Amino acid sequence: MSTEEYLKDITEIKDMMNKSSRFFSLSGLSGIMAGIYALIGAAIAYYLVSISGRDYLILDGKIFNYILLDLVLVALLSIVTAIILSTQKAKKNNETLWNGTSRRLLTAFLIPLITGGIYIMIKIYSNHYGLTGSLMLIFYGLALVNASKYTIGNVKYLGYIEIVLGLICAIYPGYGFWFWVLGFGVMHIIYGSLIYFKHDR
């Protein structure tokens, strides 16, 4: 066999290892959209708090429920968008959306995320909600780092950034809102664009 053929073999080996263990159809565009939803959601929350006449949030007010709803809507919209756009990308890549790799990706992603979600809810209902922003960033970052083994490897750097933001946020909990905007809004748009330009087209 010639050198060229051996090179082809090595490429084939690498390609098969990657394809069979990582889900590459994660849509970058959905990351950008998630960032935009987060910014809009944050703007609505900011507005709600500012018309309440206080510049902080109390737990048992009507405003708090609206903000919770706002947050749930942002999360829901982001998830739905991610599913739709990743389905399209998968189709383009001749891949199915629901296969071994996407299942593993989702499991790896959801375990830290759901743990964090439940933990945050427990803290909120025992009136410790001052660190919610920080905790969301940290657990989301851990979820990304964990999931990055099963998708585009670069995702782990976004995870690291979220974790660091969450830790800094823990030092300045008063600025939780702005760290949240930075982590979930701005970073998603930046990272989504990176993935979009590198892998989507």
Instruction: Classify 151 as helix, strand or coil.
Output: strand
- Our finding on whether 13 is near other proteins (CB under 8 A) is yes
Q: What is the 3-state secondary structure (H, E, C) of 50-85?
A: HHCCCCCCCCCCHHHHHHHHHHHHHHHHHHHHHHHH
Sign of the Cα torsion 93, 94, 96, 101 reads: negative
- Our finding on whether 69 is near other proteins (CB under 8 A) is no
| One-letter amino acid for residue 201 of the chain | R
Of 65 and 153, which CB lies nearer to other proteins in the complex structure? 153
Of 20 and 50, which CB lies nearer to other proteins in the complex structure? 20
* Shortest separation between residue 13's beta carbon and other proteins, angstroms: 5
Find, among 157, 125, 159, the residue nearest to 142 by Cα. 159
- Our finding on whether 12 is near other proteins (CB under 8 A) is yes
Of 52 and 87, which CB lies nearer to other proteins in the complex structure? 87
Of 6 and 160, which CB lies nearer to other proteins in the complex structure? 6
- Our finding on whether 98 is near other proteins (CB under 8 A) is no
Euclidean distance between CA atoms 183 and 161, whole angstroms? 8
Instruction: Classify 195 as helix, strand or coil.
Output: helix
124 CB neighbour count, 10 Å cutoff: 15
Contact residue for other proteins among 87, 99, 154, 193 (CB under 8 A): 99
Find, among 23, 26, 39, the residue nearest to 187 by Cα. 39
- Our finding on whether 9 is near other proteins (CB under 8 A) is yes
- Our finding on whether 72 is near other proteins (CB under 8 A) is no
* Shortest separation between residue 108's beta carbon and other proteins, angstroms: 14
- Here the tokens at position 43 are 């703007």
Contact residue for other proteins among 92, 100, 114, 153 (CB under 8 A): 100
Which residues contact other proteins (rule: CB under 8 A)?
A: 3, 6-7, 9-10, 12-17, 19-21, 96, 99-100
